[in-house]
Amino acid sequence: MNALQNRWKAQREKAAFLALEDGTVLQGYSVGARKDGLGEVVFNTGMSGYQEILSDPSYGGQFVTMTYTQIGNTGINDEDMESARLYLSGFIVHEMHGPSNWRSRVALEEALVRNGVPAIAGIDTRSLTCRLREKGSLKGYIAVEGQVDSKEAVARARKWEGLVGQDYASRVSCTSPYQWDPDSRLTCTWGVCERVPAADLRVVAFDYGIKWNILRSLSLKGMRVTVVPARTTAREVLEMKPDGVFLSNGPADPAAVTYAVEAARELIGKVPIMGICLGHQLLGLAVGGRTYKLKFGHHGCNHPVQNLLTGGVEITSQNHNFAVAPDSLDTGLVELTHLSLNDGTIEGLRHRREPMFCVQYHPEAGPGPHDPFYLFQQFRDMITSA
């Protein structure tokens, strides 16, 4: 039996399928943990950076479909993780490959198994992506254990509560405060290390699913960062006497994270604030706006955003399912600063009277382009001039 026949035999022995709430069933084979799972199926258009995508806590509750066909070639290394483990509910790819990269420490399939993440390969991800674009994000069920038939899997997908109205931020947040790398003078990304300047500003960062490259980016701007759990109150933060407060990215429905909205509302005007992704949505709610669920979200590394203050265009990394409704905002209180050039959704806001701004995308670029990295300097400048 040749190598190709051996691979086909192994795939048949690990037969699996993906069932969607609309009744679609896609056959494939298991390349992750041998357990079934439920999640919201989304697609990510990134051609690289799957390790950072997998370790982004904002994907809690979701099945990530990679639109790029060949995944796994670079394996998993220690430097490019964005959190301590993988938080997504499932992974969907067309082809899974073994590692062929000098930085790899473990194969992707092994990392998925270690983290208990079910994954399926052999899927026509182009067809699946077209379906998601047409119908919107769909609830799904990955069946790998062989105990559930397709009819039951579809029924379970339909019955699952989904992400609307769900607080996933508290599920992925740290459980106690900690200081980010207080003694390290080097920070490394993509195998490149930069010397961290001496910190002269103290920042408190809310962890709603914060990524490590955000903390690296703040450190590179001379900020000593204390990370606090999602449910930390505004009073507790102010007692720490920070120079600034950062509201992080995170998963699921911002309207369900009511405690964070309350904390943000109480902090506005008392301390300079920067928010990204979920933090942006929470600040939008805190100033009286409302949020809504996008049809299929923004997930990828190549989303064009226009900076309305400069007229320039930034290529950005994004990962969110919800957005701030423009007609819900008091334009006398907040100013629209950034817009998506794909669908016109709000990508940035700033307060007209208080030191506060936020963006919907990920300026830390893990993975993604570095176009928006200036926002961390903007945060520093806002703090020092407050």
Residues marked as catalytic: 277, 362, 364
- CB atoms inside a 10 Å sphere around CB 311: 7
Q: How many CA within 13 A on the CB side of residue 186? A: 6
Structural contact between residues 208 and 248, judged by C-beta atoms closer than 8 angstroms: yes
**CA 294 – CA 305 distance, rounded (Å):** 17
Quote the tokens at residue 314: 């930034």
Quote the tokens at residue 288: 């009286």
15, 31, 124, 332, 358 from 26: Cα distances, Å: 11, 15, 8, 50, 39
**CA 125 – CA 26 distance, rounded (Å):** 10
- The DSSP call for residue 120 is E
> Could you tell me the sign of the dihedral formed by the alpha carbons of 248, 300, 63, 76, in that order?
negative
List b or e across 79-100, with b for residues whose CB sees 16 or more CB atoms inside 10 angstroms.
ebbbbeebbbbbbbbbbbbebe
10 Å CB burial of residue 6 (0-12, 13-18, 19+) is exposed
Does residue 216 sit in helix, strand or coil?
helix
